[in-house]
Amino acid sequence: MDDDTSARRILLGTAGWLRDDWQLGYYPPDLPADWRLAYYANDADCVLLAAAQWQSPSPDFIEALDEMPGELTLFLRAPDDAAALPDAVPPPLSALPAILLVEQPLPGAVGWPQWVAQGDDRWVDRASGECLVRWWLESADLRQLRARAGTLPAETVALVLDGPSASPALLADLRTLLELLGRA
C-alpha cells in the first residue's frame, strides 16, 4: 500500500465492542470476555465508547484494555456534565490512542485531543478538519450503505456503525465497499 492510499484509509468500527446480540453471532462462544476487544480489533480500527462505559470502568473493561492492540483508536464520548470529566486522561486510557468527543471544546480537559460535534453524527478535529461520522443502522443493507458512502465528507477519517443492525461482522464488507468506491 503506498502512502497516498494509507493516508486516505478510513478507520472503521462500531459503538462499543460488547453487545448481548454479538455474544452468539460474532464472538466465538469459548472466547474469554477479556479477549473480546482484541478479537474485535481483528475486524475494526476504532471503537466509540459512551461516557458511562469508560468513566467508571469495570475490572473486565480494564483487563480488556490491557489486551487491546495499540493500533485500535478509542473515540470517547464526553459526559453530558463537563464537570464530571477528569482533569487529565485517566489510566489505563492515558497510554492508549484516545480522542474525546465533545459538544463544545472543554478548555479544562488537559491532555485530551478533542473533536467537536457538528450535529448528532459527526465530530470534527478543529485543527485538521478531519472527522468521525457515525451511521445509525436499522438494517444492514449493502445497497443502502453504498448510497450513504457516496455522501461521506471528504474529511472523514473514521466511520462508526451504531444501531440495532450494527455489528463488527459488517466491517469487512463495508471496507471492501469503501475500497471499491476509492474511499478506503
Nearest to 164, CA basis, from 183, 136, 142: 136
pLDDT at 5: 40
Higher pLDDT, 127 or 109: 127
The letter for the amino acid at 135 is: W
pLDDT at 68: 81
d(CA 171, CA 175): 6
Domain region containing 105: 3-180
pLDDT at 69: 76
Query: Which range among 16-20, 53-57, 112-116, 140-144 shows the weakest confidence by mean pLDDT?
Result: 53-57
Q: In this structure, what DSSP letter does residue 168 have? A: G
pLDDT at 7: 43
pLDDT at 184: 74
Q: Give the predicted TM-score (pTM) of the model.
A: 0.90
Q: Tell me which long-range contacts 168-175 makes (C-beta under 8 A, separation of at least 24).
A: 168/13, 168/14, 168/17, 168/22, 168/26, 168/40, 168/43, 168/44, 169/25, 169/26, 169/43, 170/137, 170/140, 171/12, 171/13, 171/14, 171/43, 171/44, 172/43, 173/142, 174/12, 174/145, 175/12
Q: How confident is the model at residue 81 (pLDDT cuts 50, 70, 90)?
A: confident
pLDDT at 112: 80
The secondary element (H helix, E strand) that includes residue 147 is helix 142-149
User: How many domains does the chain contain in total?
Assistant: 1
pLDDT at 45: 94
